[in-house]
Structures are given as C-alpha cells and as structure tokens.
Structure 1
Amino acid sequence: MSTRSQGQSTPAGRPGSSRAGQQPYPAPGSSARPGGSRAGQSTYLSPRTIARDKWSRIFGGSAYLEAGPSNRLVLSIRSWVPAEVDFALDRFLQVSGQDPELLRFVELPGLLEGLVDLIRAFLDARVEDRSSSTFGLWVDQAKETTRRRACEAALVLRNLTTDKHNVGVVSKSKKIRPLIADVLEEGALEGGEDTNELRVYLLEVLEVIAEETPLALPGQQARSNKTGAIVPITEAPTSPAFRLFPLLVALTRSADRALVIASFRCLTALSLNDTSDAALALLTYESTEPLPKPLPHPIQTAIELLPIADADLGAVVLDYIYQHTLLPANAVLFCARPDLLQILRLVCTKLHLGAKKETIEVVLPLKGSEAEEWYKTQPPRHKRNIGLSQQRELSAKLEGDEISRLAALAEPARTLNWLRTVFEAAPDAEVTQVALWQAYRSEFEPLVALKITGALLPASDVIKMSSEAFVDALPMVIEQPEKRFVIRGMRIRDRTDMRTVYICRWSGCPAPLGPSSPSTLYWHLHHTHLAASPPPPKCAWSTCTYTSPQTSPSLLTADLTLHARTHIPSYHPPPGYGNPPEPHLDSQGAIPDPPITMQHERYHAQLDENLEVTGLGFLACLVLRNVARTVKVALGNPAGGASVNSLAQGEMSIFEAIEAASEGTEQKDGVVARLEKIDFAEAKSGAEALMGLENKLVRTTVEDHGLGKILGEVLEVVTVCRKAMANREKAEENEVPMEA
C-alpha cells in the first residue's frame, strides 16, 4: 500500500490529489500546462494564481481568497458585526481595485447578496429617518457609518462588475436593477446630496448591464429581439423598466458633473437594447402619459451642453447624440430642427480637439510661370519669402530707397525709423501687436535671409519701440468683449499715392500734386496751411482728428508744425550709418529670389490601441454622418454603406429600415407602429444645414486624413443636396404659371 493510501494527503487542487478529496470550488488560477506535469517540470502559474499568492502574502494567509460558501470575508460581510463588516470591506476594496478577476461571484456565493444588503440597509435607514421629526437636522456617527459602508459596498460591486466573468451574474440578478432605481429615487428627494457618491457607483454598474436592461413606457408595445414580433410589455408599473428612464432624464439636468456624465453614459448604453427604442424616442417622450416630464428630453440637454469646453462631458454628449440619431424617428426629428445648422457648427468645433497639429512647408518653384501669377492672386494664408527685387511691386509699405536706407541702419534705429515710416500717430486708433510684429517680419526677414541687413529684434522689443516712435502709443490688453493685445495711439500710414509723388492730403488743398519730395511737402504744409493767419485749430490731414491744446497763434502754429511731421516720414538717413552692403547677385547680375514656400496645417486625430481613429473628432464625424445618411434617405436615394448600428451580418441598417418603413407595409397599432410611420420626408430641411457646412467639411477632409474617411461620405451627400437644389430651381424656372 502506498504512503498516500495510509492516510497522507495532499492539498486539494494540487497535482497528485485524488478527485474524492478535491473541493467543489478549486483555488482560483490553479492549472497545469496541457499534457499534465512530469517530474522535474514546473507547474504553469496563471496570472490569477500569481495575483492570489501576492494577496495571500499581504493578508497573511490564503483563507481570505479561497473559493466556496465558507469564505472568511464573505461570512464576515454577511455577519452584520460592525468590526467584521469593516474588516471584510477593507480587504475587498483592496483586491477589487487592483485584481478584480480574483473575486468572482460564482466562486464566492453570497458576496453579491451581502453587498446589496449593505446598500439596502442605508436606504432603509434614510426612510426611517425621513419618518422621524429629526430628519435633516443632524447626522450621528451611526448614520455616517451606514452611508460609508454602503458606498464602499457599491464601489466593490462596481469594481467587480468590470470583470467579464461577473457581468452575467450581476445582469441576471433580480436585486440589482430595483436597487439602482431605489437609490436614484432616494437621491432625487430632499437631502439626497449625500447619495451622490453612491449613485455614481451604481450608475457605472448600470452602464455595464445596460444592454441587457430594457426600458419601457406605460402601455407600450415592443418588438422582440429574437422573433421580431410585436409583444406587449408585461412589466409591473414599479418595475425598473418604467422607473429608470425618467430618473436618468432628471440626472442629466443635475448640478453634479459626475452625475451628468454617468447618466448620459447610461442612456447611451441603454439605447443599445433594441426593445428600448420606444422609451428613448423623442416623439413618445413628448406625447405618452404620464410623460412629458417637467424636464426636457436628454437630446435637448445634450445640445445645450455642446458649447462647454469639457473633454469628458463633450465625449459623452456626442456619443449620446450619435446613439440618439441611430433611431430612425429620432434621426428625422433631429434633422428637422430649425436650429440644425447651429447645432452642427457646434459639433464641428469638436473635430480637432485632442488632435495633434503639424505645420508643413512645401517649396514651390513657381518663378517665371503662369502658376506664379495664379499664386499671387490667392488669399494671404501662405507665407512668401520676398526678395529685394520683388519688394517694390508687391509691397505698398516701403519704396526701394526706403528699403536701402533702413537696411543700412543698426538696431534699434532701424525699427524706430521703420515705425515712423510705416505708421503714424492717431490718438483714437489702435494696431494689434500681432499685426505689428508680422508687418516687421514681412519687411525685414527676406533681407536677413539675403544677408542684406542684421538680425531681427524680438517681438517684445519691437512692440516696446512703438512707445518711443510715438509718444502717445501705449501697448495694452483689452479684456472686453474679448481679450486682445493692441497698441493704442497709432495706425498704419496711408501711403497709397506716395510711391512716385508726394500728395498733400490736407483738406481743401489748392495744389495737392505740387510737392515732389518729403522736404517740399513739409515746406508746402507749413507755408500753405499752418502759417496762415489765423492758423487752423486742428490738423486737417486726411482723417486725422488731432486738435492742438495751444491757444496763442504762434504756439498753435509751432505745435501743428511739429505734429505735421508725423504725416511726413523722413527719407534722409541720419549721419554716420554709411551705405547699405552690396547684395549677392546671380549669374545674370540680378538679385536672386528665394523659393516660394507654402505653409499647410495638418491634423492627426487620436488613435486607439488598434490604430483606429477615436476621440471627440471621431464622435463628431459620426454625428455628421448620421445626419447626412438621414438626409440622403429623405431625398429619395438608397442608403449606402454598411450598417451604422453594428448589427449582425445580413440585418438591415437603421436607414434601410427607414426606407422600408416609408413604403407602407402592414398596419400596426401601438408605439412601435408610430415609430415606423414617421414621415422621414421632414428630414429634407437638413440638406440646407449640410450645405452650410460644406467649406468646413472640405477643409477638415483635406487637413485630417483620418477624419476625412468618414467625412467623405458626408460630402457625397452634400453633392447630392446641391444637385437636388439645382434640379428644383431649374424646375421652378421652367414652370409655366397658370392663367387666371
């Protein structure tokens, strides 16, 4: 007889033990490699086994995680002994937060019921307190302890629901959904703020089991998922199927951000259950008793939340709008909204949120070709490196002699003279700091590239120099109505007609074309207009509004003479700066032009672990695509593309279902029939909104390749809308009016 048969035994679940000695609940994670183990070969340890051994060392024993109805922690949590309950919750929180796969409800019978009982005890305590006269006046330690245990139990339940092995058990439980509905109702009552944490945890549980949670409206009929037949709802009026939807609608208007996000996530997940279509439909919400509720439908709340700059909130709102517009009735009503264009513009603001922006420079050898002439006519969204020979014909700011004079100056004299040449003092005018810096760069950056002049000053120094060039110029920040960085007290000098001759712009000048140089223009101003008797009280140059504070004629003339110099830039360089350096010439003796560069912006959308497009931009594109497909069907075109509802292969997409319903098959009664009889021709008004977004859609398609794959289908619908509108206008033009 062997040693084992004489009474020695090995632990259950280990190699060598007999089946008779094994426990009905094997230790989690214990397994061997296929083919059994041999002498000298190590046993394969699964990740669960490794995690279980780690926690056994932390807790000082393996009994706390052993499977079976006699688990130490399960018995503690169901004992109702305060110290034991806290002991068990503490360890369950630690394990479920890091390794939820170790705690499976099928291996730990009674754990789910124990967690539910702790939450239910908190609800019972609140009901009891509400019936007493001291409710809401004070909170003792016992009440707070009951609330804490309920929140910890809900957190453990939420953590364990994330494991796929526990989802089925929680979904089949008859206690979970009524518990969630009761907690949400309790939170809606007066003083329900202390249930916020509990509600957030249970809403996350509801989100996991939502696809198996049908919703219903009183007296409705629903279509069976399995047979497709219309069947009446047999749920009791107190069933969670009737209670959950109004409670979630109320939470979408909550002041608690976490509850708003959780409620929208639940509504999105609940819409995945086809039998809930009637409850989620906008038309039934507005017309079915006891609805409408005092709160608007969640789609209206979602639209109101679109402008908020919150990435998490924006993601759940866009996801809900996408799921909402997958239902044919909702898609049609959404496209028929009069404010659809404004809504879609808000959706488009999310396209590039979270994306990476890249600026690409493309060199175009356009010299001496027709393409160069075309390129010059394009809007100034591209940057040009302009050579000295091109400066005269492309820029109206400086002339050739001005460029040569300024290029020879050293900083800061170059910037100071440039400011006084290009700008002029104007007390009531302003120039943006960005425009000033860009003008400075456009003038001198090409010269620096050709080594004609020295390096540029920093932007901050150029802006500060404006106060030295003009005494009254002041860089400042304007907060209202929007934040702007400007320089008050100066404006761009009008030099349109000062390229070849210097025209006097004094109002009523008898000989405006007489001057031919800055000095003669200054002499003309002084003797013809300022030295008159009596002298003018204010400057009459073009639109200048300067009024002299002097009253004496002689002082008034002197003051206006000094002011007039701001309208006439000095063209004589100060002594001591020498001549400008000779530019580098090409083989023909001309100044070489650097190549023209174009700057393009390119966006890279967020990608998931499978390198597929994701993020806010992706959700925004899906919403736009739903609208486009609905409009396409409304215009009488067949719905193209695969199902947007991720249906099984062979089933119709929702837009194919819309088209089929429009043919008018059999007559049915009830809510489902109302959904199928929706007049989707109302969605034709959405075509105008799509056409209003055409430029934005084209630009996004070019700039973002990932989103362009989705928006390409939207642009195809826009093309269809354009053709339909052209055909309608042509038909109206050819229509012959009837005789009276």
Structure 2
Amino acid sequence: MPQAPQAPPTAAPVAAVVRPSNFYEGYYIEGGHQNRILLSLKSELPNEVDWAFSRLISLSFEWNEFSLNMIPGLLNELLSFAQPFFEWWATLEPKAIDELMDDDVLNMNETHNLERVLQVFHILRNLSFLDQNISILTEHSGFRKMLQQGLSMPSSTQLNELRIYCLDTLECLSIHITLRSKFDVYLRELHKLLHTSDKALILGSLRALTRLAANEHNEKILSDIDPDIIERISQLLLIQDDELIGATLDYLYQFSSFHGDAAVQIAKSFPGNIVSVLVRFLSWGSPKSVPAPVTVDPAQQILHEPYRALHWLQSNFESNPQAYIYEADLFKLYQTKFAAHGPMLRSADLVTVSRVGFPKMETSFVQGPEGMPPVQVIRGIAKKHWMDFSGAEDRILCRWIGCQTVVATEADLFKHAVQEHISPGMGLYTCQWLSCRRFTTPTHDRQQVIKHLKTHFPLTPSVKPFSNRPRWFDVRPNVLELPNRDLAGIPLTAVFVLRNLSRQKRNQKLFLPYEESLARIMGEFPKMSAFIVDILTYLRVG
C-alpha cells in the first residue's frame, strides 16, 4: 500500500509536538532527524543505546499521544536491532532449533542479544495500542515479517515472552490485516496457538481471529470453516472460565455472521448439538441457573508452567507503583496454590514470569527485622485481594504487617482493619497495609486514614488512563446485568450466536428440543425476549 509523503525533517508539525503535561520526558520526542533518542540509537555507544531504550520503554507505556511519525526513522532504527537475530534464526534447520531448545536459551543473550530484541518488541507492542501507530506498523513489510517469525517461535521461557509481545501486537493490528489465502502465515500461527495449553495465548489468538473476521476483505477466506478449529472451540466452551467463554462466543458470533453457509458449517462441525450448549449460557450468572461448581481451577485445567503461573499472577495481582510484596511471600502463595498440581517453578523463575505479566515491576531489597539481613521484594505489583489458600475454600487474609487474621469477605476484612488497626483512641494513626508508605509520619486524623484504607479495597473496577490492553478490548461483564440495566456479556453474545444459527434452515432442526426452554427463558429474563422472539420467528418461517 503506498504511503503518504513524509513531512520534511524540519517541518513545523514534527518540531512543534505538544509535550505530555504529565510526563517530564516528553521533550525527548522533539528534533526530527536530530532527535536525541534517535541519535543515541545510531551512536553504537552501549551507554547511549541503553539510555535510548530505557526512555522509549517509558514513553511508549506512559504517553498515549506518542506516534512513531514524531521521530522520523525511529521504526527502522528499532528494527535494525532485531534484524540480526531474526536473520540468524531463519538460517537454522529444524534439528538445530531442537538442539538449541535443549540447551539454556539464555545463552542466546550473549551470542545474539535476545534481550535487546525483547526490548524492541516491548516498545512496539506498547505503541501498537495507540490508534495513530496501527497503520504505520501494518504497512511496514519488514516489521510484518518479523512479527510472523516471532509468532512462530517454539515454546521456551524467553522465546515465549517474544511470542506474547508479538501476539499482543497482532491483536491490535489484525482488523487492518488482509489475509492472502487460507494458508496465510498469520492464520496458520493463530490456529496453532489456539491449540496450546496457555490461556494467554488462547485468548490472544481468539481475539486476533475475531478481529481478522471483522475485516470484510477476509470473509471469503475465513468462511471456509475448519472442523478442527470448531472442535477446539467446543472444548473451550466447557471450561468454567468467564474470560475464555466470552472470547470464544465473540469468535462464534463473528464467524456465524458471515454470508453463505458458515453458520451451517459451524453447527455441523460442532461435536453434539451446539444449541444445547448456547442455551445454557443464556442464564449464565443468574441465580436462577447456577452452573455446577468447578472443583479444579481453570488454570489447572488447561495450563502448564510457566503459563499457569502467568495466568495466576495476572488474575490475582495488579500493577501498583506504590506497593511491593516480599518475594518469599509471593513464592509461598504460589506453592500453596499449586503444590498438589504437578511440577512447579523455582522462586527465581516465578520472578521472571512476573516481569512478563508486569513489565514495570522491579526487584530490590528492603531492611529486614532487626538483626536480620535485607530481604528481596518485588516493587510495582499488589494483590487484588489477599487470599489464604490453606483451606478447602479461599479465605481472605489480613495484610496489615504482623496480623494473621483470616476473614470470610472483603467487607469483614475492612471492618476488622478499622476496628483493630485504626481503632478510636489510639492517638496517632498510620497505614501498614502491604508495607504502604502513605503515612510515613503518623497523623492524628483517624478519618483520613480510614478514607485512605479504602484505596486498598478495589470493590469496583477503576478506569486507568493508560491501559495495557488494546483500546478495542471489551471489558463488559460476562454475566446477566441487574434488572434495571441492559443485557450484556455472555448471555447477550450467546443469544446473538443462536440468532445467527437459526437463520439457516439447515440448522433449525437443532432448535426443536429447546423451543420450550427458549420460551421459559424469555419469561424469566424479559430483556432477552426481543432476541428470542427473532429466533422463534426464524424457526416458524423456516
């Protein structure tokens, strides 16, 4: 695709970039071809190059107005650091790759600077979340080739980090990518990832495939439904995991919306009756129809290390630059959770996986108890809600320093903290939650400390200005909404898929055993009635 002519290096739009008001390093994007970061990357001086990469990682993460066009030539310069690695990898025979995987992959850092390649794709992954960079990355042939190579890397600790960066990037770019044939490299690699046991890779491939299907130029290729993929889809719908089910239903909705007989092919390839599975999801999350309890954690159902640990970390922890957790405590929680479920990671490996899930985290040391040596901590992450995994059911453990109280709910935990740790009459108050440093100097204002304590109890989701997820990612709840709110999530997507299937005459016999169930659901959930009426109408007319 031809690119629009680039503005001259001294053109006003490049030099007059608006600096981010909340980020002091914004001026580093000025200067065009004489840009400070660009010159440092070209200098071949190790200290200068390290500095440039450090600044770019910060800028790409913190500032949502950063465009690659602000620094002409930046994309090509970044890719020049990754090109030697990919050129070397392309020369390897399959046998040589197998032998390489048997050795310590970290040796590649010394011989082929894999760490620098990871930094390049970390930066580009961050920038791909911004709309202004999508067309730039999509139209760059060299980057597309490296992206394909990165997706096809074999499974190993550090190469998986590269694969995840590539998959995150592809999720953002996929709606603008036109497939060449059903043997397209992107399609082949996404289908492979769909069959892995890594939840993160499965979710990424589902979302990328769904967005590829949203591009009308890909409909002809994707409407030739692969029965093996539909069988895998049926397996994912059996896992009691809202996020997986939601992404899988989104995939089915997009593919069943194709013209022609795609909806027929889906129903035909689905093991058993797909309608019976979808009808079950219409009352998902409602107390009127509660699914059978799951005795095995979803992470243990489909994931192996290090993916299991990554899923566990991302599900239970969140980024928090003000917080830190002792490495020993993190490893103890991990051991308690998975001790009875197969091989486990070492503590150092768990920290490495943590860096994949939380790129901004850091490790450092803090002074231990008197007479004890410093202890290592992980800064930048905090537990969403601390759980005690020692019993049959999850219980919440108080994280006030020195307190081992266990309670049943977060409401009980807040009540406990206020009554026991910030009780009236103490005189001076401070916060010792997860080694919080908000009140380094104790205060007499008890209400101020109580108000601050509420920040450690994220009972409602917060909107963050710079999300690590693509802007298009739908975070709607995957359950039925309250009666006075709109229908959303898993039930809504399921009824849309059913409606698409019911439009095809050859699928209508699949609905016959469930017409009574659909009528009952229509009465129990009035906001779903309009969609179910459409389905029943198609069945009658058909």
The TM-score bracket by the shorter chain reads: 0.5 to 0.7
The residue aligned with 2:489 is 615
State yes or no: 1:170 paired with 2:134. Answer: no
Single out whichever of 134-143 and 265-274 deviates more from structure 2.
134-143
- CA deviation vs aligned residue, 1:423-448 (integer Å, no higher than 9, x gap): xxxxxxxxxxxxxxxxxxxxxxxxxx
Structure 1 residues 355 and 242: CA distance shift in structure 2, 3 A: same
Q: 1:109 aligns with which of 72, 81, 93?
A: 72
State yes or no: 1:709 paired with 2:530. Answer: yes
Per the alignment, in what secondary structure is the counterpart of residue 25 of structure 1?
helix
Per the alignment, in what secondary structure is the counterpart of residue 693 of structure 1?
helix
State yes or no: 1:244 paired with 2:186. Answer: yes
Residues 605 and 706 of structure 1 are in contact (CA less than 8 Å); yes or no, is this contact kept in structure 2?
A: no
CA drift at 1:314: 1.0
CA distance in 1, matches of 2:89, 2:44: 18
Instruction: Determine what percentage of the aligned residue pairs are the same residue.
Output: 25
Could you tell me the TM-score, scaled by structure 1's length? 0.42
CA drift at 1:337: 5.1
| Matched ranges for 1:259-278 at <5 A | 259-278=201-220
CA distance in 1, matches of 2:50, 2:518: 57
- The amino acid that maps onto 2:23 is W
State yes or no: 1:140 paired with 2:107. Answer: yes
The residue aligned with 1:330 is 262
Residues 82 and 120 of structure 2 are in contact (CA less than 8 Å); yes or no, is this contact kept in structure 1?
A: yes
Query: What are structure 1's unaligned runs of at least 5 residues?
Result: 1-20, 30-48, 219-240, 286-295, 359-478, 480-602, 635-682, 722-740
Structure 1 residues 700 and 170: CA distance shift in structure 2, 3 A: same
Aligned residues: 340
The residue aligned with 2:515 is 694
CA drift at 1:89: 2.3
CA drift at 1:64: 1.5
CA drift at 1:147: 2.8
Structure 1 residues 116 and 695: CA distance shift in structure 2, 3 A: farther
Structure 1 residues 81 and 143: CA distance shift in structure 2, 3 A: same
CA drift at 1:689: 1.8
The residue aligned with 1:671 is none
Per the alignment, in what secondary structure is the counterpart of residue 54 of structure 1?
coil
Structure 1 residues 281 and 718: CA distance shift in structure 2, 3 A: closer
CA distance in 1, matches of 2:11, 2:265: 62
Could you tell me the TM-score, scaled by structure 2's length? 0.56
Higher Rg: 1
CA drift at 1:134: 7.1
CA drift at 1:67: 4.9
- The amino acid that maps onto 2:131 is K
Per the alignment, in what secondary structure is the counterpart of residue 69 of structure 1?
helix
CA distance in 2, matches of 1:252, 1:26: 45
CA distance in 2, matches of 1:626, 1:353: 19
Q: 1:208 aligns with which of 159, 172, 193?
A: 172
Q: 1:149 aligns with which of 94, 99, 116?
A: 116
State yes or no: 1:625 paired with 2:499. Answer: yes
Per the alignment, in what secondary structure is the counterpart of residue 605 of structure 1?
coil
The residue aligned with 1:306 is 237
CA drift at 1:203: 1.9
Residues 701 and 711 of structure 1 are in contact (CA less than 8 Å); yes or no, is this contact kept in structure 2?
A: yes
- The amino acid that maps onto 2:252 is I
Query: What are structure 2's unaligned runs of at least 5 residues?
Result: 1-9, 290-391, 393-477
- The amino acid that maps onto 2:17 is P
Per the alignment, in what secondary structure is the counterpart of residue 32 of structure 2?
coil
Q: 2:278 aligns with which of 343, 347, 367?
A: 347
State yes or no: 1:97 paired with 2:77. Answer: no
CA drift at 1:141: 7.4
CA drift at 1:96: 2.0
- CA deviation vs aligned residue, 1:325-383 (integer Å, no higher than 9, x gap): 12223212234458553x2222233334356879xxxxxxxxxxxxxxxxxxxxxxxxx
- The amino acid that maps onto 1:98 is E
CA distance in 1, matches of 2:243, 2:270: 28
Structure 1 residues 605 and 28: CA distance shift in structure 2, 3 A: farther
CA drift at 1:714: 1.2
CA distance in 1, matches of 2:13, 2:30: 11
The residue aligned with 2:294 is none
| Matched ranges for 1:455-474 at <5 A | none
| Matched ranges for 1:393-472 at <5 A | none
CA distance in 2, matches of 1:331, 1:309: 25
State yes or no: 1:605 paired with 2:537. Answer: no
- The amino acid that maps onto 1:330 is A
- CA deviation vs aligned residue, 1:659-693 (integer Å, no higher than 9, x gap): xxxxxxxxxxxxxxxxxxxxxxxx1xx22221222
- The amino acid that maps onto 2:118 is C
Per the alignment, in what secondary structure is the counterpart of residue 68 of structure 2?
coil
Structure 1 residues 246 and 91: CA distance shift in structure 2, 3 A: same
Structure 1 residues 141 and 209: CA distance shift in structure 2, 3 A: closer
Q: 1:317 aligns with which of 237, 248, 253?
A: 248
Structure (1 or 2) with the greater helix fraction: 2
Structure 1 residues 216 and 132: CA distance shift in structure 2, 3 A: closer
CA distance in 2, matches of 1:613, 1:707: 7
The residue aligned with 1:14 is none
- CA deviation vs aligned residue, 1:537-585 (integer Å, no higher than 9, x gap): xxxxxxxxxxxxxxxxxxxxxxxxxxxxxxxxxxxxxxxxxxxxxxxxx
- The amino acid that maps onto 2:71 is L
CA distance in 2, matches of 1:605, 1:132: 48
Structure 1 residues 307 and 338: CA distance shift in structure 2, 3 A: closer
Residues 27 and 67 of structure 1 are in contact (CA less than 8 Å); yes or no, is this contact kept in structure 2?
A: no
CA distance in 2, matches of 1:88, 1:711: 57
